[in-house]
Structure 1
């Protein structure tokens, strides 16, 4: 049994399918099925009214005005050649920022290489405890254990007063650790 008052045919000349959930184009206001609703699929003549995109310069992130009929790629390319305010010196990313703590070493690494014993950051050459004169206890300390030792040493500093504790190495339960004050 067919219901004559339900649904509308697709306005695309190649389709004309009866659609019970038709969609109305917001530019030309004709009714289409789900397969022909986009501007390109039904070759909408009014798409220019709604399909307005403003390209953004990939270097300086500023919107580039494009007139009707101009190719956005050409306009953005011309902007990059003439008007772009991008300064490569300002936007230079630093990759090697992790400086080795071994005295006399000036190497920097891309990744942190932290010693398990003294928790210092070292280069590949000095990452082993024997290579950087490690001040740790000789056995690895977990990050949680290291944090607990640092909290305890800070509370000892507060209790004793900063004048009685020398800056530099702190003794705590047989582990020699650097205080936070020295970097």
Structure 2
């Protein structure tokens, strides 16, 4: 087999190493080997981008903030994009518990048939209507 056409050569003139999975610089769009993949290592002529990512409180999606764009504009664009969908699910019925119930973090109580989070799975930790059972682990996992 001939591997000459696979991957790319490092764009650094003194290196030119062939790399089968080269890295592409986001700024100058040239291909580099692992040793020269960062902007500092290949002396990129463009200034480094200073992006910050925040987590959307509505949908838990990452939002990239760019230094030259107003964060409010970026937030509005994300919020109205259609991708920002409020987290689905119900909260644990225990007072002051803010856990959203999913298949992974919830169970159904054997005594009262309530769906509760794993933190409150014992009958004495949630408002169990039928706590006559002495079995503390009265929960069915999915």
Q: If the TM-score is normalised by the length of the shorter chain, which range does it land in?
A: 0.3 to 0.5
Higher relative contact order (CA 8 A, sep 6+): 2
TM-score, structure 1 as length reference: 0.26
Question: Higher strand share goes to which structure?
Answer: 2
Which structure features the higher share of helix residues?
A: 1
